């Protein structure tokens, strides 16, 4: 690769509207796309929280017809995507709006891919496989964590093989993200903890990724600062909207960073775990984070030192092994402060499962940008430590 090419950087992002109450303006954006009928993708929990009704009211006020598709599991499944695409066609929709956490948003992205290409979603696994633009896509996240609303990732669960598939392409970046901190008010403390740690992991992995650069670093560091500085308080004061805005902004910045710098071993391993046990993605990340940081530290010590300093750790006069230990201790303390004490063993992972999990982690696109080159044996050791 010539030096000129290797210095090039690209940065993809949707149109972002950030602020309390912006979900009420969804119809304006649908109208800009000439929407006649919207496929509204969500799940039962989000519907019960009342956020879908707000979107329906906005669409109805502008006279835009819609069809609701809510058959989405917590880890969205291949067959749900195909059912959603079938519904889109049957209802003659022309725009997709999703309201929810990572699952409805990833499902909506995948529905768009299927209806645009008229092929099965499994055919698009991997990087840059999309050839046709998807229908206009408007996403409204209701968790402060997954950042599916700003990213070029789609993660789906293949239940038959107990595996997750990743689709990574700029064609999967939504057109509009309406990021409304009010919608996170319905998260329970455990979901707030899981999604908050997910966002922190996005930022940490993006900052040390081999794909990092000057366009992503500022977003990653600001995300670390915001989430590290406000997540504990937010979970202790769940009704404080100012704190929710800070964490939601941190999550968004983390999304912009990882969507463009890609991720690392935490995500490769947690995709493998989540597919195998159908566990929440944020929980998988939270269980693994300090083990992977300890493993990766030696491959990017200066960058990990910047992360430690951004987390408020005084590194003056410390050696790298000391900083590494302080950072690991800080991450564990942060997890404990938000009530997170999970291990893999608690969720039924056995030593015998580790080779299967590690093999699949090695095939995940996220492993390619991990700062430290990892063999399957390395991944097995880290999984073992997280038991």
> Tokens standing for 58?
């906005």
Domain that includes residue 16, residue range: 3-184
CB count in 10 Å sphere of residue 319: 10
Domain boundary among 149, 184, 219: 184
Strand order across the 163-168 sheet: 126-127, 163-168, 153-158
Largest Cα–Cα distance of the chain, in whole Å? 66
Statement: residue 189 has pLDDT above 90: yes
270, 201: one domain = yes
pLDDT of 371: 98
Structural domains counted in the chain: 2
Q: What is the CA radius of gyration of the chain?
A: 20
174, 49: one domain = yes
CATH of the domain at 370: 1.20.1090.10
324's CB contacts (< 8 A; 6+ apart) are 293, 294, 297, 298, 301, 304
Rounded Cα–Cα distance for residues 202 and 157 (Å): 20
160, 194: one domain = no
117, 91: one domain = yes
Q: What is the DSSP string of 55-119?
A: HHHHHHHTT-EEEEE----SS-BHHHHHHHHHHHHHTT--EEEEEESHHHHHHHHHHHHHHHHTS
pLDDT of 81: 98
116, 197: one domain = no
pLDDT of 155: 97
Domain boundary among 184, 211, 245: 184
Mean of per-residue pLDDT scores for the chain: 96
Quickly state the pLDDT bin for 1 (edges 50, 70, 90).
Answer: very low
Rounded Cα–Cα distance for residues 201 and 266 (Å): 8
pLDDT in tens, 17-64: 999 999 999 999 999 999 999 999 999 999 999 999 999 999 999 999
CATH of the domain at 122: 3.40.50.1970
Rounded Cα–Cα distance for residues 15 and 20 (Å): 17
pLDDT of 116: 98
pLDDT in tens, 72-83: 999 999 999 999
Please state, for a pLDDT cut of 70, what percent of the chain lies above it.
98
Quickly state the pLDDT bin for 8 (edges 50, 70, 90).
Answer: confident
More confident residue, 53 or 10: 53
Task: Check: CB of residue 176 under 8 Å from CB of residue 141.
Answer: no
Q: What is the mean pLDDT of residues 248-256?
A: 98
273, 363: one domain = yes
pTM of the predicted protein model: 0.96
Domain boundary among 166, 184, 202: 184
């Amino acid at each position: 690769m010539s030096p000129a090419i290797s210095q090039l950087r690209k940065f993809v992002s949707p149109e972002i509207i950030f602020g309390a109450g912006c979900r009420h303006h969804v119809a304006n954006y649908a109208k800009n796309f000439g929407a006649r009928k919207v496929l509204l993708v969500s799940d039962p929990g989000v519907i019960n929280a009342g956020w879908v009704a707000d979107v329906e009211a906005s669409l109805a006020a502008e006279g835009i017809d819609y069809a609701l598709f809510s058959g989405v599991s917590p880890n969205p499944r291949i067959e749900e995507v195909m059912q959603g695409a079938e519904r889109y066609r049957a209802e003659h929709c022309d725009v997709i709006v999703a309201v929810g956490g990572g699952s409805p948003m990833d499902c909506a992205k995948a529905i768009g891919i299927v209806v645009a290409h008229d092929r099965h979603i499994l055919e698009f696994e991997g990087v840059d496989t999309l050839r046709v633009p998807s229908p206009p896509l408007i996403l409204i996240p209701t968790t402060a964590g997954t950042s599916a609303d700003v990213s070029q990732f789609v993660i789906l669960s293949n239940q038959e093989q107990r595996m997750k598939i990743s689709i990574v392409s700029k064609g999967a970046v939504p057109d509009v993200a309406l990021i409304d901190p009010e919608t996170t008010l319905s998260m329970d403390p455990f979901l707030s903890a899981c999604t908050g740690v997910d966002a922190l992991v996005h930022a940490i992995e993006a900052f040390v990724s081999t794909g990092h650069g000057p366009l992503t670093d500022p977003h990653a560091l600001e995300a670390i600062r915001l989430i590290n500085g406000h997540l504990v308080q937010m979970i202790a004061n769940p009704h404080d909207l100012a704190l929710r805005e800070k964490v939601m902004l941190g999550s968004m910045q983390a999304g912009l960073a990882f969507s463009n710098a890609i991720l690392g071993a935490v995500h490769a391993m947690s995709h493998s775990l989540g597919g195998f046990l159908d566990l929440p993605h944020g929980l998988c990340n939270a269980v693994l984070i300090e083990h992977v940081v300890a493993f990766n530290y030696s491959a990017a010590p200066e960058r990990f030192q910047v992360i430690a300093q951004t987390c408020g750790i005084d590194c003056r006069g410390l050696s790298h092994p000391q900083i590494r230990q302080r950072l690991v201790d800080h991450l564990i303390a942060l997890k404990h402060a938000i009530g997170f004490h999970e291990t893999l063993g608690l969720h039924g992972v056995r030593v015998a499962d580790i080779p299967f999990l590690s093999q699949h982690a090695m095939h995940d696109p996220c492993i390619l940008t991990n700062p430290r080159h990892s063999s399957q044996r390395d991944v097995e050791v880290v999984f073992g430590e997280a038991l």
